[in-house]
Structure 1
Amino acid sequence: MSTLAWFAIASLAIWLWLLLGQGFFWRTDQRLPPVGEGRPVPAEGGWPRVVVVVPARDEAAVLPLSLPSLLAQDYPGEAEVILVDDGSTDGTGQLANELAEARGGLPLTVVSPGEPEPGWTGKLWALRHGIALARTREPEFLLLTDADIAHEPDSLRLLVGAARANGLDLVSQMARLRVASRWERLVVPAFVYFFAQLYPFRWINRARPRATAAAGGCVLLRTETAVAAGVPDAIRHAVIDDVSLARAVRGAGGRIWLGLAERVDSIRPYPGLAELWRMVSRSAYAQLRYSPLVLAGTVAGLAVIYLVPPVALAAGALAGDAAAAWAGGAAWAGGAAWAVMAGTYVPMLRYYRQPLWLAPLLPFTALLYLLMTVDSAVQHYRGRGSAWKGRTYTGNYVSRHGE
């Protein structure tokens, strides 16, 4: 058989292993543990005090949809919201105060910490000040949520109830991202699919975990655990802050749960490929720890796992009779691998309520992610690093964009 046929067989073997041996990452059944109906609810002392901390930088466009959803939380205990205006230039802080005055609900405090000190990413600098202020209220839990995340009225109650009922120190939900434009349909469900493949939720949620991660858009964190883990100071330089946060919490002995959200949604639009490209490429090389060797391995792995199957099937189908021996091997192995790949993608498409004909297009989406990852490395070596909202993060160095 030809080299292509061997690569196709290798890809099929990898996909069979991913199907059965990677924590059933493709299943979407890891949802927030239910509370009530026979499950224990917060016991003695009633529902604990919670402070919601929202880091926000130039979020005036999304704040009218997200902030009112937090202020309107139907929570039985004491709760309040702290919005940390991280040097916004679009009136984010003023708009937040206006929304609170107009909508009412939970008390809102808006603070501005100033520019980050060297070695801090902007979000973690904002969280540092928000958490410090929150701790003066002596809450049992902190809800760390992004400014583009909208919560259903019972979201906080369900998060706290799940944490109390299951003895969890960190409860994180992967917010349902917006899927409206053509490019969002093609790229966004795959983003969550790839994340789950890298960090299988079942492995994270086991009593003896085999993986550690969180989704930074919605994290309920026990305050005493945050203190024990030294959060956020211990991870102040992290570009991928959610995974770093989870590792710090687990390192301090905390119990973690991560799953897909049903009552928490991201409202940030990514209408075109350029916006999605920036969203992925700004942190892709950081995920690879800025290692050229890991980058090379990632590119090779993506090519074998996602690109070889359709290429092998097409090459085998187009080969003439003289090449029938190798063509048959390449075609059947490539076709089988592609079928397994598409089948594992179907549950995620159903979760996002997308048409199933998108499943066979996963190799094309993987090619886009491959190119985004390479571009992330190129931008890093050009000194642009992880540029986001006027700031650049290059390795452990943090600076203003353009400096």
Structure 2
Amino acid sequence: MSAVAWIAVVSLSAWVWLLLGQGFFWRTDQRLPDRPEPVRWPSVAVVVPARNEAAMLPVSLPSLLAQDYPGAAEVFLADDCSDDGTGELARALSDRCGGLPLTVVVPGEPEPGWTGKLWALRHGIAAARRRNPEFLLLTDADIAHEPDSLRELVRAAGAGGPDGEGLDLVSQMARLRVASAWERLVVPAFVYFFGQLYPFRWVNRKGARTAAAAGGCVLLRTRAAERARIPESIRQAVIDDVSLARAVQRSGGRIWLGLADRVDSVRPYPGLADLWRMVSRSAYAQLRHSPPLLAATVAGLLLVYAVPPVALVAGLVRGDPAAAWAGGAAWAVMAGTYMPVLGYYRQSLWLAPLLPFTAVLYLLMTIDSAVQHRRGRGAAWKGRTYARPEAAPEQ
């Protein structure tokens, strides 16, 4: 066989392994565990870190204040040095909408060694702990919840499952907005790639070694947060959701991650530039700022995603049936594994064959993330830049 055919066969082999051996990452059936309602509904504090979120709060905050929860619950919004009236707007929305009580906390600029979001979470959680809640719901300011979202999260976390144990962390990946053409092309792939890195089934197994969470919606037992020293133990983390899940798991907690039916992100990413910034700000941090890992990622993505269509076209043009067959088969498996995520997002299945193009876009975003880091810009977000974190001193 030709060299192109051999490379295509390797790519096809990789896809067969991904299809069967990577925790069935492509399936979308990991939803909230169906558990009995608790005899007594535990108290919950909802903590919302917010920086310049005046555009999002009119949609997201009323959905939290309107939670139909049978137990005691209140909302704590940590205003992270906003200059757009985020805190004042939150108070006005609370006065207008009623519902759960709202407390606005203003923590000030973060101390050295803290990312802004985790600094805000620290102060929001500290204020919430004065009420001694049994659970903390950590949710972003651009996340809208259906009225029964909190009830269902707590029910899923409680005892009564088949193993007789409850969960210390329950996280749902919010359904991201998919409206513009670029969102349709890029957003479902974001969830697909995340699941490929952190297969939900592996995360959810008892005694699992894989840990991940989706930071937009994390229900956390307060005692598990204290045991894992959240957020102090992860205060420098740029990818804070995965770091949080790892800290809880390492401290003996049991975690769960799945797709959401009642939780939606309302933040728009209408253009490619918006999506590019969203991905590139943390892509190199995901690779631990390692040039060897970056090189391996580039080679792996090209082999797995770019080779199949290139081999198919090259095989047809050059009369190389082995290359065409292997490339076409790999491309077909790739598209087939992408279809469930497209279905979850109610998108046309005709987008599935475009996944190689989307993967190359993500590859370029990752390279750009590394370039920005080398230029000293690190992970830039809302006016702050986070360079490569060094080991944080113990307190």
TM-score by length of 2: 0.97
Q: How much identity, in percent, do the aligned residues show?
A: 77
- Aligned partners of 1:143 and 1:73: how far apart in 2? 12
- Does residue 199 of structure 1 match 2:198? yes
What is the DSSP-based 3-state SS (H/G/I as helix, E as strand, rest coil) of the residue aligned with 2:380?
coil
Aligned pairs for 1:180-191 within 5 A: 180-191=179-190
- Written as runs of structure 1 = structure 2, the 5 A alignment for 1:3-402 is 3-35=3-35, 40-43=36-39, 46-165=40-159, 166=161, 167-319=166-318, 324=319, 327-396=320-389
User: What value does the CA root-mean-square deviation take over the aligned residues?
Assistant: 1.0
* CA deviation after TM superposition for structure 1 residue 209, in Å: 1.2
Residues in 2 aligned to 1:34 and 1:110: alpha-carbon distance in whole angstroms: 34
Give unmatched runs, 5+ long, in structure 1. Answer: 399-403
Question: Where do 4+ consecutive residues of structure 1 move more than 3 Å?
Answer: none
Separation (CA, whole Å) in 1 of partners of 2:314 and 2:7: 13
The 1-side partners of 2:246 and 2:102 are apart by 30
Taking the aligned partners of 1:221 and 1:281, their CA distance within structure 2 comes to 28
SS at match of 1:387: strand
The question of whether the paired residues in 2 share the 8 Å contact of 1:118 and 1:397 is answered with no
Secondary structure of 1:11's aligned partner: helix
Residues 259-310 of structure 1 deviation map (CA, whole Å, 9 limit, x = unaligned): 0000000000000000000000000000000000000000000000000000
1:141 partner amino acid: F
Distance 2:181 2:260 in 1: 22
Q: CA deviation at 1:383?
A: 0.4
Q: CA deviation at 1:397?
A: 6.7
- Gap runs ≥5 in structure 2: none
* Per-residue deviation, residues 91-141 of structure 1 (Å, max 9, x unmatched): 000000000000000000001100000110000000000111111100000
Residue 158 of structure 2 aligns to a residue in which SS?
A: helix
Deviation at 1:208, TM superposition (A): 2.6
Please give the per-residue CA displacement for 1:155-210, whole angstroms capped at 9, x wherever unaligned: 00000011013400000000000000000000000000000000000000011314
Partner Cα separation in structure 1 for residue 2 and residue 120 of structure 2: 56
SS at match of 2:173: strand
Alpha-carbon displacement from aligned partner over 1:58-88 (angstroms, at most 9, x marks no partner)? 0000100000000000000000000000000
Aligned counterparts of 2:369 and 2:389: Cα–Cα separation in 1 = 16
Q: For residue 216 of structure 1, give the secondary structure of its aligned residue in structure 2.
A: coil
* Partner AA of 2:38 in structure 1: P
Count of residues in correspondence between the two structures: 386
2:177 and 2:101 map into 1 onto residues whose CA distance is: 28
**Counterparts of 1:208 and 1:218 in 2: how far apart (Å)?**
22
